[in-house]
Amino acid sequence: MATTAHESTQTHADVTRDVIGTLSAPGKGYYILLASVSTALLIGIITFIILLKDGLGHAGYNPPVMWSVFITTFVFWVGIGHAGTLISAILYLFRSPWRTVVYRATEAMTVFAVMTAALFPIVHIGRQWIFYWLLPYPNARFLWPNFKSPLVWDVFAISTYFTVSTTFLVFGLIPDVAAVRDHVTGWRKKVYGMLALGWKGTDEQWRHYSRAYLYLAALATPLVLSVHSVVSWDFAMGIIPGWHGTIFAPYFVAGAIYSGVGMVLTLLIPLRKALKLEHMITDYHFDNLGKLTLFVGCVLFYAYGMEYFVAWYSGNTFEQTTFWRRAFGPMWWAGWAMIINNAFVSQLLWSKRIRTNLTALFVISIFINIGMWFERYVIIVSSLGNDFDPWAWGVMTPTMYDWGILLGSFGWFGLWFTLFFKHFPIVAIQEVKEMIPMPRRKGAH
Amino acid sequence: MFTAVPKSTSLFGDQMRKLVLLGGGALVAIIAAVVLWRPSSAQTQDPVTVARTLTAADTAAFRGPTQPILFRHDLHAGQFKMQCQYCHYSANVSSEPGIPSMQTCMGCHLVIAGTDSTNQAEITKLRNAWRDRKPIEWNRIHFLARHVHFPHDRHIKALGATACATCHGDVTRMPQVFKVNNVTNMGFCITCHLERGVNRDCTACHY
Amino acid sequence: MSDQTPDNKLDRRRFLTVVGATGAGAAALSGCTTDRVQKLIPYMVGNEDQIPGIATYYASSCTECAAACGLHVRTREGRAVKLEGNPVHPVNRGTICSRGQAGLQGLYNPDRIAGPMARQADGTFKQIEWTEAITLLVTKLKAAPGRVAVLSGQAPGTFDTLLEGWTRAQQGTLTRWEPFGHEPLRLASQRVFGRDELPLHDFAAAKHIVSFGADFLETWHTPVEQQRGFAQSHGFTQGPTAKTVYVSPRMDLTGMNADAWVRVTPGTEAILALTMANIILSERNRAPADANGLRGMLGGYTAEKAAQQVGVTVDKIRQLAREFASAQPSLAVAGGVGTQHREALELCAAVHLLNYVAGNVGTTVKFGAGVTRGDGYAAIERLFGRFDKGEVAVLLVHDANPLYALPKSGQFAERFAKVGFKVSTAAVMDETAMASDLVLPSLHPLERWDDIRPRAGVLGLMQPVMEPVFAGRHTGDVLLQTGKQLGGTAASVATATDYKTYLQNAWALEAKRRRAADAVQFWRDALQRGGLFDVASPSAPVRLSATAQLTKAVGATFDGDGAYTLIAAPTLTMSDGRGANRPWLLELSDPVTKITWWHWAEVHPETAKELDVREGEILELTTPHGTIKAPVYIYPGIHPGAIAVPLGWGHTAYGRYAQDRGANVLDLLGAQDGNGFLPYQSTKVSARPTGEYRQVGKTEGNNRQLGRGIAEMMPVEAAVKGLSLRQFYEQEGHAEHEVNTEREQGAIEGFRESQLEQRKRGGYAEEHPQWGMTVDLSRCTGCSACVTACYAENNLPTVGEEEIYRGREMTWIRIERFWEGGEREGEPLEARFVPMMCQHCDNAPCEPVCPVYAAYHTVDGLNGQVYNRCVGTRYCGNNCPYKVRYFNWYAYNKKAFPEPLNLQLNPDVTVRGRGVMEKCTMCVHRIRGAQHTAKLEDRALVDGEFTTACAQACPSGAITFGNVKDPASKVVAAARSPRGYHVFEELNVRPAVTYLAKVRHTEGQS
Amino acid sequence: MFAAAKPIPGVLASFIHIDGAVDAIRGLRARGHHDLTVYSASPNHELEEALEHRISPVRLFTLFGGITGVISGLAMTYWMSLDWPLLVGGKPIATVPPYVVFMFELMVLFGALCTVAGVAILSLRKPTTGILYDEHFSDDRIGIFVPCPPDRANDVEALLKQAGSVEVRRAA
């Protein structure tokens, strides 16, 4: 097992102490954070209520652009989720040592990101009060949803993804919650005792647990790849030039992981400081995260290139017009924002100095987040704006209401995450311990 | 220095059996529901029959919303055997059934004044309304949503002149009309269309 | 202002009796909701010709313009819901234009006043009782014998007779006046042929058409009739089509439909016409003998001289003349309001001569129908002259709005004020009513008894199709009642107690004159038919009169020294401004510029460079007579030396929709009489960019096709050879826009065949008709009658200007106007129109993406849209390649139909609520309706027993609808045409709508 | 709600050193104590080897869940498409390719849920209630509980001590 410097210096006791230390009473900064995310959420809720009352007209829709910021943000959040499952599940199967310290945080991020995304189909539809018609439930009309519609695929993909990743997170938490239970007192002991579901870490429990964890990881792995493929088919199944692409599934999955890792960095770098986990989450981890970012960044670079190449090579006038206008049309700025932020910025990570310089990494991660939001915005809006019938072409400009909902989504996500890292171990205690050899009487075997 | 663990709900303990059984049962129930469930099709239950003569007190006992005038279908359609279409004049020629104009009522009630006090009272209401040129505002009982188009004429042609009862119940035995079938419910329409194997195209009714 | 706007609450009780027994009436208001009418209100007395749920049709006549087309008014539950053309009426033959259909919104206009309004001492209006109002009028009349004047809109018929008698009884003067009276044409006929009337033109018979600025497809003369004729001669069947040339500084809708547009220097059309006449006369003499007398007079007009003045090459002029002469019969027309400059009279005379020498008079140009169009502008001048002299104490204005339709510079408002007591019969408080002392709101033509005689041989009847919506009173009745009260001669004129009887008496005489056996039966038949129509339109032989010699042309003069010539352009939607309070017409994008809800200034691209303005920048236009502001619309179809501003905007009253909407171009015009008529094109204008902007609410995205083959065109030669589009393109050498190769097509078809079996489940296994449509682009003129018809039939909401900015108009069928050429100097500019509606694709991309089956394929091949199932994901809208799906971003249905406009809603069609997608249904309610009737009568559907609203309205008959499975059906026959093609065929969506390529004369354009 | 089960008699020992714990286990098993309960803060392969555990049968639950998911996915979509046939985009009324998505998603969903259920059910076979526990076991110590009658407790204790247990306690 590949080990690194920091692990040997720490004992199991240290790990328990440090991690459970993060759950100590919060400071002023924490409450400020809490207040700000709640405000953002409130703004979002108010905006939604107005839309619910008057209709979607307030948002900047401009036919033929009938999807815009809401769907963009939906895809953005679904994408964010992916890094979590990738790190916790796929890297688990690959037995990648550096994941252990960070995966709990990323997994939590996944669950909350998906929770955020799941709200958007409801925000986005015209008659929000009957969103449940998309579910196959028995009804007085004897009607079922249309299983050929990518949107119904979406409903299933997202809900499955949410259920499974939540299960995965909770399941992984059980032993750690038990550890917390054993190291706190008073009413908190009772509460964590409940949540620990009577975990004691007996050999029998570990036997089933570790197996089950393996299979959950095995199931989550294809799921994470499938979810964003399905999301990509929301577009690829359409005939709109700029959507109707065969590379969309891998293209979107790469993009998702890219944005996800970006968000992981954005969250982890400040979190590490705030929770004083410097000696646990080290350059080593950020270096690896950086490499991962670089890798998917390159995949994305390739995908962008391919899109333009295919458009040119197809000889299809519709495709060509769309991509020409994507770069030089009324929305050129968004088009270039996407290419520069994603394809080019990530190339900086070739340098180890940048990969290990947290400030630089943080700035880059912000760029990535913005860039990936714009990627979806460009793919959706600019493609719709100029499709087959030139007479119907139109350009949409977002309004306050679009931004309000976007802000609210960050509030919603932030609120959950903020509450989480103060009440649950943000680093997986038992997995870290698993990597630290236990002391021996006679020297190492 | 040994301490005991607080007792707690034990997923990994013997409390589990109950949970598993409950969970499993629920799952089975849900699946069964999804596959087997159908809304119960319309059942016409026997409406109350009442004496031809009655006192104001009795009216309270009737089902259905109280109308400005106690128009007794059980007398007109039941005992006097008047055709539905006599009053609902357009039911078999138009999509709309049509409700009788005041003139239609007065056609008979200029001469017919009613046999007992209650009836007379009601008929006087009608005559006054006619005198004051104030149409009577009946309370509506059967509704269809505006996005549904139900051609009465087609259904009467298909099911015969006495078909009214299929949806409206046996009004010949209702002193005061009440809703027998929930015609607003699309399931009610579909059940019938399925049984008879007729058109189920959406735009047959929705356009 | 507000204190003067009368409160016009609709009387609740009447509303109920109108709505009648069923919920259907009020269905109007609710969308895809299940909210309910709680009460059922019966009629007091059953109306024998109104069965709830069944439409009753009444024949009537349209009064939206002087052409007086015949109407069939569809009523449901006692309220008019749609105006359709009367198939037996000789003028429109069952079709109808946008303005005509919008008449319905005149009937239900929320700004109609509920009763007589009298001006108070403080200048405000107060509603009074009718009796009170009439006594007031009578006392005023009694006090002013011989000092009475009447200004009446021009509507020859029984009412006019009554009005005339009534006026004479007060020793008053009657002036009949219509803004678009085409006086120059009438005066020219007088001068050239000694006939004081407007000729009728047979466009159907013409083999070659030259229009000198006569917008015969828009506002000139009888547009619907002319469009039908034009479609017959210019639309393609087999033979060559009539080449059409449009001579004018501005390319209006008529110009866009011409094969060639000759862009002449403003005011010089007459010179060109005379020159052509001269050439024809000198080169080939097919002209009547007496035409030779013209040689001397025409001699001076040589092509060389004309070339410089007119700004057209010498060859071009010769070619024009020769083509005109060689095609027999040909037709030249002139006298459009847009080119009504100081030389308009000369122009019309010149065109008469041109027709005469080419031998068209009597064949395509017919006299004898006695069409006059009022007493003309001169009469107005005289009338106001009497005001100035204080000779008028009581003025009655009926069916006219002079204070809007006359140039401000003429001080007409001030002069109007000099009249002691002014009475208006306007139903809506228009500019004139606002300046009057007493307003006696007349009934809308659909609420009253009347008749109209637009020309000899056509006598249209009007009858009340419903209870009056507002408590107006027929001016006829007012005249009769006042007459009775006035006594004396006036009483002797009032030969009947009410106008209906008066009318019937008049018709009894008519019956006697026609030796009808039974006058009552005669009346009934006429009522059912919609009037009396003599088949043959009369044609009197005419000869040149001596005065013809007076005709001469030097080019019109213009006031002021501005850099550009001002063209006050009449538009199809606004016409003379009476359309300005109809939401349908305001939202209907102007066929030329595609702008809605606001006026504009047309500027040539070069001029725009010169002025350094962009679209939407507000120009300040100044003439010696006034100044207005208008946002720029850059338009290649106008002479660089001219700026065009549409007429009909900028009302200062006339209800919530019209008031303060844009500016009135008449404010820029001089009022000086161009001897007998008002010259609309009479001033130079200077333009100053203000730097302010106002977005123009146009519905066009990109007006170039980018070679995507949306609007295909074929030269007439190719079409005559019967080439298909593909063959034509191959012959031309340059490839047709990209479509699948034969091999690919084969593969696609093969796959489809293999899938067909798996579609046969449930209803899809049975035999059903498959509905389809064809649109013949060689007939479509882009007049947009279909669009308004769709609004009326399918309860489409008007969304307003702000929503149009965001491209949210709800036009289920829209007219796309694409430009070809015109980019380089000398390259001819061509306009192509494509009516774009849901194509009801067999492989509809919108269907599979809907998560709830709200969009799905019906068993009879329609692309069904189930509003109440729609959750509003809008994926269908994205995935539609034709972009014909429209989303209810707000609850438009709540905003668009303020009472009583909601009464116009069609109960057969669900009103869509907020958050649902909607689109063209191919009038599925008509299909189902017809199927119901057929089933009830145990018979099969007959081809053509019903059609869609758009096809029914189209004056050119460009749209054919029917069952494509029935080999005998018209639609199949039409679709077989080699010109047939599908838009975006390469997408393999298999549309049910087939377009037939446009056919043009491409050779020798200018 | 949670009836306190009566404590099982036996000996609880706590170890710091992994090899000590392993020796103890080996020794105890050699003496016929097979019913051991070993506590640890994280799974440890050395302990598992010493205890000679077989692979957990939880994977069978996963398999069952997965298969159920696939079948129900196909059944649901196919039946619902045919229950009310509606034609969209000229495609076959009921057709497998688009339904693969549902088969896959339900496979994962049911698979995951059944796995968790599996852990729960399997844990029933060896209840932990009534067995001594110490909070250090979730920190840095390894615990071994040897159920045995009081008479045998002494030599068990001796063995544990000799293996290096830092603490020993009896339950009776």
What is the pLDDT at residue C3? 33
Residues of chain B in contact with residue C908, where contact means CB-CB under 8 angstroms, are 149
Average pLDDT score over chain D: 87
- CB contact under 8 Å between D38 and A222, yes or no, is no
Q: Is D88 in the C-facing interface, judged by CB distances under 8 Å? A: yes
What is the pLDDT at residue D154? 87
Is the pLDDT confidence value at A259 over 80? yes
Summarize the confidence of residues A292-317 as an average pLDDT: 91
Could you count the other beta carbons within 10 Å of the beta carbon of residue B71?
Answer: 18
C129 and C116 Cβ atoms separated by less than 8 Å:
yes
Q: Token pair 């539609």 is at which residue?
A: C880
Is the pLDDT confidence value at A249 over 90? yes
Q: Which residue has the higher pLDDT, D1 or C416?
A: C416
What is the pLDDT at residue D2? 40
C707 and A286 Cβ atoms separated by less than 8 Å:
no
A209-244 pLDDT tens trace: 999 999 999 999 999 999 999 999 999 999 999 999
Is the pLDDT confidence value at C18 over 60? no
Q: Residue A219 corresponds to which tokens in the numbers above?
A: 């199931």
- Per-position b or e across C888-922, b if 16+ CB within 10 A of its CB: bbbbbbbebbeebbbbbbbbbbbbbbbbbbbbbbb
Summarize the confidence of residues D106-120 as an average pLDDT: 94
Helix H or strand E encompassing C101: helix C98-101
Torsion sign, CA atoms C111, C114, C115, C119: negative
End-to-end CA distance of chain B: 79
Summarize the confidence of residues C452-459 as an average pLDDT: 90
Conformation bin of residue A428: beta by default, left when phi > 0, alpha when psi is -120 to 50: beta
Distances (CA, A) of A417 to A268, A424, A432, C244, C270: 12, 10, 22, 73, 82
Q: CB burial class (10 A; 0-12, 13-18, 19+) of residue C512?
A: exposed
What is the pLDDT at residue A3? 41
What is the pLDDT at residue A92? 84
C658-689 pLDDT tens trace: 999 999 999 999 988 888 899 999 999 999 99
Q: Which residues pair with C740 in a beta bridge?
A: none
What is the pLDDT at residue A161? 94
- From the candidates B7, B9, B12, which should be mutated to test the interface with D, based on the most D CB atoms within 10 A? B12
What is the pLDDT at residue C669? 93
- Identify the weakest region by mean pLDDT among C186-195, C341-350, C831-840, D5-14: D5-14
Summarize the confidence of residues A117-143 as an average pLDDT: 91
| Number of residues in chain A | 445
User: Binning pLDDT at 50, 70 and 90, where does residue C14 land?
Assistant: very low
User: Binning pLDDT at 50, 70 and 90, where does residue B14 land?
Assistant: very low
Residues of chain C in contact with residue A318, where contact means CB-CB under 8 angstroms, are 708
- The CA distance from A402 to the nearest CA of chain D, in Å, is 31
- From the candidates B7, B10, B11, B12, which should be mutated to test the interface with A, based on the most A CB atoms within 10 A? B12
C600 and C284 Cβ atoms separated by less than 8 Å:
no
Q: Token pair 């009369």 is at which residue?
A: C538
- CB contact under 8 Å between A149 and C850, yes or no, is yes
Report the complex ipTM.
Answer: 0.89
Q: Phi/psi at C533 (nearest 5 deg)?
A: -125, 115
Residue C194 CB contacts under 8 Å (≥ 6 apart), including other chains? C542, C545, C547
What is the pLDDT at residue B74? 87
What is the pLDDT at residue B19? 57
Q: CB burial class (10 A; 0-12, 13-18, 19+) of residue C44?
A: middle
Q: What is the DSSP letter of B187?
A: H
Q: Using CB atoms and an 8 Å cut-off, which of residues 206-245 of chain A contact chain C?
A: 234, 237-240
Torsion sign, CA atoms C586, C587, C590, C593: positive
Is the pLDDT confidence value at C399 over 50? yes
What is the pLDDT at residue B8? 41
Q: Cα–Cα distance between A166 and D55 in angstroms, integer?
A: 26
Residues of chain B in contact with residue D2, where contact means CB-CB under 8 angstroms, are 7-10, 15
User: Binning pLDDT at 50, 70 and 90, where does residue B34 land?
Assistant: low
Is the pLDDT confidence value at A445 over 50? no
Could you count the other beta carbons within 10 Å of the beta carbon of residue B130?
Answer: 18
Q: Cα–Cα distance between C954 and C833 in angstroms, integer?
A: 14
Proportion of chain C above pLDDT 70, given as a percent: 94
Q: What dihedral do alpha carbons D94, D99, D103, D106 form, nearest 10°?
A: -100
Q: Cα–Cα distance between C333 and C324 in angstroms, integer?
A: 12
Residue A168 CB contacts under 8 Å (≥ 6 apart), including other chains? A85, A88, A89, A107, A216, A217, A220, D112
What is the pLDDT at residue C745? 84
What is the pLDDT at residue C731? 85
Is the pLDDT confidence value at C841 over 70? yes
Closest C-alpha among A122, A129, A68 to residue A398: A68
- Identify the weakest region by mean pLDDT among A7-11, B60-64, C594-598: A7-11
B40-60 pLDDT tens trace: 444 444 444 445 555 555 555
Residue of D nearest to C856 (CA): D88
Is the pLDDT confidence value at C1006 over 50? no
Q: CB burial class (10 A; 0-12, 13-18, 19+) of residue C401?
A: buried
Q: Residue C346 corresponds to which tokens in the numbers above?
A: 């000369």
Residue A254 CB contacts under 8 Å (≥ 6 apart), including other chains? A296, A299, A300, A303
What is the pLDDT at residue C17? 40
User: Binning pLDDT at 50, 70 and 90, where does residue B4 land?
Assistant: very low
Q: Residue C502 corresponds to which tokens in the numbers above?
A: 């008066």
Q: Cα–Cα distance between C803 and C679 in angstroms, integer?
A: 37
Closest C-alpha among C774, C776, C775, C777 to residue C830: C777
Residue A355 CB contacts under 8 Å (≥ 6 apart), including other chains? A286, A287, A290, A291, A294, A349, A361
User: Binning pLDDT at 50, 70 and 90, where does residue A295 land?
Assistant: very high
C691 and C617 Cβ atoms separated by less than 8 Å:
yes
What is the pLDDT at residue B6? 42
Q: Which residue has the higher pLDDT, A47 or B37?
A: A47
Summarize the confidence of residues C980-999 as an average pLDDT: 93
Is the pLDDT confidence value at B104 over 50? yes
What is the pLDDT at residue B85? 86
Could you count the other beta carbons within 10 Å of the beta carbon of residue C257?
Answer: 29
A2 and A8 Cβ atoms separated by less than 8 Å:
no
List the C531-533 sheet strands across, edge first.
C450-455, C458-462, C531-533
Query: Which DSSP string do the residues of B69-120 spell out, in sequence order?
Result: S---HIIIIIIS---HHHHSTTTTTSSS-----HHHHHHHHTT---SSHHHH
- CB contact under 8 Å between B12 and A196, yes or no, is no
Q: Token pair 């390529």 is at which residue?
A: C997
- pTM listed for this prediction: 0.91
Q: Is the bond preceding C179 in cis, omega lying within 30 degrees of 0?
A: no
Type of residue at C273: A
Summarize the confidence of residues C117-121 as an average pLDDT: 93
3-state secondary structure A121-181: HHHHCCCHHHHHHHCCCCCCCCCCCCCCCHHHHHHHHHHHHHHHHHHHHHHHHHHHHHHHH
C542 and C362 Cβ atoms separated by less than 8 Å:
yes
Is the pLDDT confidence value at D36 over 90? no
What is the pLDDT at residue C36? 44
Could you count the other beta carbons within 10 Å of the beta carbon of residue A337?
Answer: 19
User: Binning pLDDT at 50, 70 and 90, where does residue C821 land?
Assistant: confident
Q: Is D137 in the A-facing interface, judged by CB distances under 8 Å? A: yes
C573-589 pLDDT tens trace: 999 999 899 999 999 99
Residue of A nearest to B190 (CA): A141
Q: Cα–Cα distance between C782 and C229 in angstroms, integer?
A: 15
What is the pLDDT at residue C674? 80
Q: Using CB atoms and an 8 Å cut-off, which of residues 89-108 of chain D contact chain C?
A: 89-95
User: Binning pLDDT at 50, 70 and 90, where does residue D140 land?
Assistant: confident
Q: Residue A367 corresponds to which tokens in the numbers above?
A: 């760029």
Q: What is the DSSP letter of A275?
A: T
Q: Cα–Cα distance between C347 and C358 in angstroms, integer?
A: 16
Summarize the confidence of residues A137-155 as an average pLDDT: 91
Q: Cα–Cα distance between C70 and A396 in angstroms, integer?
A: 45
Residue C848 CB contacts under 8 Å (≥ 6 apart), including other chains? A146, A148, A149, A237, D88, D89, D91
What is the pLDDT at residue B42? 40
User: Binning pLDDT at 50, 70 and 90, where does residue C737 land?
Assistant: low
- The CA distance from B15 to the nearest CA of chain D, in Å, is 8
Could you count the other beta carbons within 10 Å of the beta carbon of residue D96?
Answer: 11
- Identify the weakest region by mean pLDDT among A360-374, C47-61, C144-158, C293-307: C47-61
Type of residue at C867: Y
Is the pLDDT confidence value at A7 over 60? no
Q: Cα–Cα distance between C237 and C257 in angstroms, integer?
A: 17
What is the pLDDT at residue C825? 74
Q: Cα–Cα distance between C713 and C999 in angstroms, integer?
A: 6
Residue of C nearest to A392 (CA): C701
Summarize the confidence of residues C643-661 as an average pLDDT: 94
- From the candidates C847, C858, C865, which should be mutated to test the interface with D, based on the most D CB atoms within 10 A? C847
Q: Is A194 in the D-facing interface, judged by CB distances under 8 Å? A: no
Is the pLDDT confidence value at C7 over 50? no
C125 and C118 Cβ atoms separated by less than 8 Å:
yes
Nearest to A208 among D18, D58, D84 (CB): D58
Across chain A, which distance is largest between two alpha carbons, in Å? 84
Nearest to D80 among A144, A183, A207 (CB): A144
